[in-house]
Amino acid sequence: MLSGALDELWCKYRKRLNTCRQDVSEDNVHELRISTRRLLALIELLRTLHPQATLGKLRKTLKHQLDGFDELRDTQVMLLEIANGMLALPDLAPFLSYLQQREQQLFQETGPHIASLRQGRLRRKIQKAGRRIKTHSSKTDLNTAVLNAIDKVYATALQRYLAITVDDLASIHHLRIPLKKLRYLLASVPAMVPDLPENHLRNLQDYLTRMGDIQNSAVLLRALELFFVDGVPEEIQQYYRKQQRALIDEFIEHRGEIFGLWRSTPDQALPWQAEHSGSAPWRNRP
């Protein structure tokens, strides 16, 4: 089953990469990033179940590829936000112009970056890893092993959740990382998760989006400070600080929903199973 999931995600990654090579558009790059993250999440799971050097090399290569899109993604997110704020904040015009020029420059750089992503070596590593996984899987209780691996990811998320302080936005971003991994893991092996509700991945994505919006806000405010070297105009500063405060307040209001995303300990029922049995102690946790 896991080797089949690996083959499936690899095929989707190759398809997205080939599409990007033909047309380096915002949507195509976005889809390639998603496919790469999903493949990475499964590779992380496989490394936990059956550590091998090949998987480590695959992870390193794919992570490097993904990092190459970060600045373009941040620029596009800021462009959308600034374009929406132009009517209320006309002083943003020079920053908007800068972002538009920067996006075009990054698109020009992204084309050669995508063209440089060779599939031959990756394909051989994927095939090698797949063969080893098949051999290992025949000797392992995969369902239990997969759930235990997901338990570890969620345990990391809970530790980081307890370390959150609203004055330290990095702590919220720190929490987002294992929860993103949790979502991609659940999306990679849904058949191995007992009774996974149809809306669970959507709920998890909503939780991630709240944290992602806060991170985007922090990136935007930092970019404004770097652009307006003599100081960000007060009206702009107040507008985006107020927006950030509202995003933080919304996250804090919903942060307890993390306890419904997975089980806190391996001996517990999964949240949706506990809910159906009439025992859901996570509902009222802060």
CB neighbourhood size of 232 (10 A): 19
> pLDDT per residue over 15-48, tens digit each?
999 999 898 888 999 999 999 998 998 888 888 8
Domain endpoint, select from 95, 122, 140: 140
Q: Do 6 and 99 share a structural domain? A: yes
pLDDT of 237 reads: 96
Do residues 164 and 38 both lie within one domain? no
**Predicted pLDDT of residue 279:** 56
Q: What is the pLDDT of residue 199?
A: 94
| 1: CATH | 1.40.20.10
| Residue ranges in the chain modelled with pLDDT below 50 | none
What are the residue ranges of helices labelled H in 163-199?
169-188
pLDDT in tens, 165-197: 988 999 999 999 999 999 988 988 888 899 999
Model pLDDT, residue 105: 94
Query: Whole-model pTM?
Result: 0.88
As a whole number of angstroms, the distance between CA 182 and CA 60 comes to 19
